[in-house]
Structure 1
Amino acid sequence: MINDSELILNADGSIYHLNLKPEDIADTIIFVGDPDRVPEVSKYFDDIEIRKGKREFITHTGHVNGKRLTVISTGIGTDNIDIVLNELDALLNFDFETRNLKSEIKSLDIIRIGTSGSIQGNIAMGTILASEYAIGFDTLMQYYQKPYNSKELEIQEAVIEKFHDLTFKPYVAHASERLLKKFAHDIPKGVTMTAPGFYGPQGRNLRSQNTYPHLIKQANTFKVNGYQITNLEMETAGIYALSNMLGHHAISINAILASRVNETFASNPKEIVDKAIRMVLDRL
């Protein structure tokens, strides 16, 4: 039995941060960062049976063409992903009455629909791109032990060599092959760089002096066995790494709104994000 300080429940029996009970979630979950984007997804549901929220974590559960589906806002960053993914896993795989792990461990299908910036000049704004691999330039996975396959180790070794001035060790994780085939069979795929912030950690400089001033240029020129870093955002590597570790299936669908190479930003971001949402829902 797991103790109270490890699996923290609210007075009504819901899990601490998400404010959800096991019956509130579906086996397929869409992640969005922005709480305001949750209704932009659920407006396409046939019905909404659950509306709950706490802090930045807003959840709607309903049905699309007879399939039960949950959309949840994670907020920004892999620190929030740590909370959301661990608590969703607990909702699925722990008996909250006995506080014991269930005898049968289940897995979730997790689809992130998020915004991103390209760091390759040939990726146009408005592109919908799936992350085949993600590289974490944050430190979340310094606290966990995840299994690595040979391709992940190969990419990680090349990243460490390329970004040799980093004082931390980037990690690498992969998308679910099944979800790539289902949701990304006909769209571009790439390697996503996940940063722990929006300004300095993504090479932006307003009034700061950055420790790694050439980060974007290094990322733009990174290559290993046909792979290159295609885009930059703030959650995907954490989602993939924790999903790999816990046995869930995950894919990140990126709406490209900015070009860090051409220094431009899309004039129609809402339309691009809506295009990504409708594409995912059509392929469920």
Structure 2
Amino acid sequence: MTRDSEDPNADEQYHLEVGPDDVADTVLLPGNPERLEKIVAFWDDHEIRGHHREYRTATGSYEGTPVSVTSTGIGSPSAAIAVEELARIGVDTFLRVGSCGAIQPDMAVGDLVITTGAVRQEGTSDEYVREDYPAAADGEVVSALVAAAERLGYDYHTGVTMSSDSFYAGQGRPGFEGFEAAGSDALVDELKAANVKNIEMEASAILTLANLYGLRAGAVCTVYANRETGEFRTEGESRAAETATLATHLLAKMDAVKREAGADRWHAGLSLE
């Protein structure tokens, strides 16, 4: 039985140090706290609302649409804390904004990857639900991210992401002094054969928790490295940030169209204009 002393309260959250009045309904989730400034640069205005540990939160607007951003740090455990505490104060839509390694040869450094679903090779979501539960991105979020990338003219790919708990062994890289985890030598080849597009460390936990709680979530990442071609450059970081920001605005328009049409879900038969 959970003790009350361990329950987060309904006001200011323990880790994020933000409350219901500090955030918009939609929150962008970068890992790196330093990426926050690069995201809010696309907004019309913003204000820092919280900064505790790896969690840094700002809220502002873009084209009249309220939007927030909270950095999560590296990995699914801290990302899950962010989703938990943001959901408790009223957030209903989450967009992971990050970087990744591509594993298909036709994916260039600087391209975007829009996640449709994720392989749950992280342990955090396993503590919430059985391992065969799917980590699926919300269809409206995927549609908004695709529409945003199209409008901005950015090259993008859609498909399945693999989320790992480890940057080294869990992604098929050698560890200290060349250590190799069992099966790591074949990992990337197996994922590539299964048409997995990219590897990162947070998406599957974010998607799983959002689905469990009846919330919307998706992910867009910039390719920094291609494991197939050997390229690595921190190029195009702002593309994911700009795409997610525009997608937030498009989601707000989708929601308005749904309300007007009396529809439960936005679909291709409904206009965004």
Three-state SS of the structure 1 residue aligned to 2:36 is: helix
Query: For residue 232 of structure 1, what is the aligned residue in structure 2?
Result: 199
**Identical aligned residues as a percent:** 30
Counterpart in 2 of 1:62? Answer: 60
Pairwise CA distance, 1:170: 6.5
CA contact (8 A) 2:28 2:244 kept: no
Structure 1 position 113 matched with structure 2 position 84: no
Deviations 1:226-284 (A, max 9, x none): xx201000000001000000111111001011011112202xx2x51112212222342
What is the CA distance between 1:14 and its match in structure 2?
1.4
Contact 2:125 2:204 in 1 (8 A): no
Does residue 45 (structure 1) correspond to residue 43 (structure 2)? The answer is yes
Aligned counterparts of 2:216 and 2:170: Cα–Cα separation in 1: 27
> Separation in 1 of the partners of 2:51 and 2:124?
25
Mapped partners of 1:9, 1:248: distance in 2 = 20
Letter paired with 1:133: G
Structure number with the higher helix fraction is 2
SS in 1 for 2:29: strand
Partner of 2:217: 250
Shift of 1:3: 5.5
- Measured on the aligned residues, the alpha-carbon RMSD in Å equals 1.9
2:266 match: none
Query: Quick one: which amino acid aligns to residue 190 of structure 2?
Result: Q
Partner AA of 2:67 in structure 1: L
CA deviations 1:51-79 (Å, max 9, x no partner) are: 31000000001111211110110001111
- Per-residue CA deviations over 1:96-124 (Å, capped at 9, x if unaligned) read xxxxxxxxxxx611111100011111111
Secondary structure of the residue aligned to 1:52 is strand
- Report SS of the residue matched to 1:220: helix
1:273 paired residue number = 237
- On the 8 A contact 1:33/1:75 being kept in 2, the answer is yes
Distance 1:280 1:143 in 2: 28
Higher deviation after alignment, 193-202 or 182-191? 182-191
Partner residue, 1:30: 28
What one-letter code is carried by the residue in structure 2 that aligns with 1:273?
Answer: E
Cα distance in 1 for partners of 2:215, 2:63 equals: 23
Counterpart CA distance in 2 for 1:142 and 1:114 is: 22
Alignment of 1:261 with 2:233, yes or no, is no
- Of 97, 122, 138, the residue aligned with 1:138 is 122
Aligned equivalents of 1:254 and 1:49: distance in 2?
24
Cα distance in 2 for partners of 1:282, 1:91 equals: 23
Q: Counterparts of 1:107-256 in structure 2 under 5 Å?
A: 108-145=92-129, 169=131, 172-185=134-147, 186=150, 187-206=156-175, 207=177, 208-213=179-184, 214-222=186-194, 228-256=195-223
Letter aligned with residue 65 of structure 1: E
Write the deviation string for residues 150-190 of structure 1: whole angstroms up to 9, x where unpaired.
xxxxxxxxxxxxxxxxxxx5653111111111111444201
The corresponding residue for 2:246 is 282
Question: How many residues are treated as equivalent by the alignment?
Answer: 237
Q: AA paired with 1:182?
A: A
Structure 1 counterpart SS, 2:134: strand
Question: Is this contact kept in 2: 1:137–1:170, CA < 8 A?
Answer: no
Unpaired runs of 5+ in structure 2? 151-155, 250-273
Higher mean alpha-carbon deviation, 75-84 vs 210-219, is at: 210-219
* Structure 1 residue 91, shift from structure 2 partner: 1.4
**Distance in 2 of aligned mates of 1:77 and 1:53:** 18
Q: What aligned pairs does 1:97-108 form with structure 2 within 5 A after superposition?
A: 108=92
Indicate the SS of the match to 1:80.
helix
CA distance in 2, matches of 1:143, 1:281: 31
